Structure 1
Amino acid sequence: MPNVFIYNKPFELENGKTLPVLKLAYTTYGKLNSDGGNVIWVCHALTADSNVDQWWPDLYGQGRLLDYKEYFIVCVNFLGSCYGSTGASSSEVPESLKRKNFPLVNIADIVKAYQLVKAHLNIKKIQLLIGASLGGQQALHWAVHYPNQIKKLCVLATNAFHSPWGIAFNASQRFALEADKSFRDNEPEGGKLGLKAARSIALLSYRTSKIYNLSQSESSNEKQNHFVAESYQNYQGQKLVERFCPYAYYAISKTMDSHNLGRGFSSVKKALQRIEAKTLCVGIKSDILFTSDEQRYLAHYINDADFIEIDSIYGHDGFLVEGKIINNLILKWFNENPNL
C-alpha cells in the first residue's frame, strides 16, 4: 500500500545544503514477519516510482521473485524524484532551492534517506536488495556502506561509477532543458519543451539501432517526411512531459552522474570488496548505456558475485522489457542457498 514518511527535522545533504523537511513516498506489499527480516527492497530507476507492481509486473506476484505472500516488499520513491518524495518542485522545499536551483542530491543522500524509512518500518535485515540502472547504483552504494544489512544483492544494467559516455548523454539532455527559456526562467510550469527533447536524446541510449530499424521502419519507399521514427520520438517525449517534472529530471541526471563508489576509498575496487552480500550482476548484451563489461567489472571485484548476461535486442530497456526472463533467472539464483 502507498504511504508517505515525513522526517520533520533538517536533512543535511552531503554537499552541505540542508532540506528543512523530508518526505519520502513508499509502497509496501505483504507483511513484515516477527523478526523483521523477510524483506525484499527494490530501488527504482530514473523515472519510475514506488509502485513496483506496475512497472515490473513480470517480477511481481505469487510464485515470482516479488512474492508478497512470502516477503515484505518495499519500494521507496527516492529523494529528488517527483512521485511524492521531496524534489525540485515540492511544496516543502524553500523557494531559494526550488526547481532549477534544487541542490545536488547524490546517491549517498538517497541511501541515507532510505535508512530513515528502514528504521521507521522496523526492518532488521534485507533478504534481497535489488535495483537496475540508477536503482542499481543506489543498491551498490547501500551494500558498500551498510554491508551487514543485506543478505543478497542483485543489480542489473548498472555500474560502479557513471561512465564518461553516460555522463555525456545526461549532459546533452540537460543542454536540451537549458535551451528551453521557460526552464532558464525557472517558471513553475517551465521546461516542458526541453524535457521532450531530452527524452528523445535519452531514448537513443536506452534502445538499439536494431529495435528501431525493426519497429519504426516505413511501409513505403515514397515517403519524404513525417517518418514513423520521428513520430515515435515525439510521442515518447510528450508522454514523459505529461507525467514527470522537468526540474526533477534535470536534478536526477546530476545524481546519476555523481555516482562513484570509489569516493572516500582508495579505489573503486576497494569499495566493492566491502560488499558482504552474495551478489548477482546482470548485464544486457546490447546495452550501450550500462555495458555488460561494467557488470563483469562488478562481479569480478565483489567477493561473492555471479555474472549473467541476457541476449536482448532492446538495449538498456531490456531490464524492463525482458521481465519474464529476468524473473526466472533471478528467482532461480535467489532460491539457491536459501540459508545464506
Structure 2
Amino acid sequence: MSSDIIVNAPADFHVHLRQGSLCHVVTPCVRKGGFTLAYVMPNLKPPITTTDQALAYKALLESIDPHVDYLMTLYLAPELTPEEIRKAKRAGVVGVKSYPRGVTTNSDAGIENYEVYYPVFEAMEQEGLVLNLHGEVPSDADNNVCVLNAEERFLPQLVKLHKRFPALRIVLEHATTRAAVEVVKSLGDTVACTITAHHLALTVDDWAGQSFHFCKPVAKFPDDRKALQDVIRQGHPRFFLGSDSAPHPIASKLQSTPNHGCAAGVYTSPILLPLVAHLLESFGALERLEGFASSAGRQFYGRAATASGPKVVLRRFKHIVEAADTVQSDEHQLLSFWVGRELNWVIAE
C-alpha cells in the first residue's frame, strides 16, 4: 500500500470557530487539520441572525487565516425574515442553522415550532440557501425523551419539512443513529447528512463517565456506529464530513454542577484529516476518503473543487497524539480528541 494519499480540497461542512480570543486560537487549526473550506456555525453570543453580522464574522476569520474558504450561516430565530434571507443570498451567505431550544451549546435562542418559520423556508427554497438541522428534540421526561432517543424522535420533523419544501436543500447535521441514516437515504436528492469523525469512533460506553467524549448529540449504540461506517463504505453521495469540531476550555469540560453539566462538544480540528483517514481505514473505507471529506459535500453545496485546487498529502506514519500538539495558547487550554492514542497518518509538510 502506498505510504502517501493525496486528497483534493478537503472540506469541513460543520465547524465551530467561536469568538473573542478563543477564535484567534482555533481558526488556524482548520488548515492545521488539513482543510481549506469551513462551513461556520452561527451559535455565538449573541447568535448571528443578520447578514451584516455574518459578513463581519467572516471578515474576522479571514483576518486570522485568509487561506480558508469560510462559508457563512445564519441562526434561525424570530428576527430572521424572508427579506433578510434574500439579502443574505446576495451577500454570499450559504445556509441557515436550526437549533432546538436548549439542546446544545448556545442554543437558548433556538426554536420550538418549525411551522412559524415556513415563510423563511419558502424564501430559502427560492433563493437556494441550505437549511442545516440540529436533529434532536429537547429532553422531556413526561414523554420519555432523553439524549439517547432525542435524534430518532426528531426524524418525523425532517420528513415533514422535506415533504412541505421538496426543493429546499436540507442537511441533517451530525447523525448518530441507524434510524437517521435510513431516513435520509429514503428521502430525495435535496436531503443530505453530515457525519463527524468522533461519532465514527465512539459509542455510549465511551462518553458515559468521560466528559471529553461528551457531545450533543451523544454517541449511541455499536449498531448505530456501524450504520454510519457502512454508509461511508458504500460511498453514498449524500453523506459527507461535518466535524462539529467544538472547542471548549479544559475547565469547562471538567466542571459540572447539579444544574449544569459539563460543556458539550468534541474538539477535532487540529488532527481532523489524519483522524478521518485513520478511522476510515479501520473499517475498510480508506478509498472513500476524498469522497467523504471533500467531493460529496462540495457537490451538494455547489462548491466543486477544480483539478488545480488545493491538495493535501497524507503520509503513513504511526505516532501517538500528544497533548502538546493540540494546546495552542497559555490563555486557552484546549485538549483535542484522540490525545494519547495512536494515529496512522500525518499531513506531509
TM range (shorter): under 0.3
Answer with 1 or 2: which has the greater Rg: 1
Given the two structures, how large is their TM-score scaled by the length of structure 1? Answer: 0.26
TM-score (norm 2): 0.25
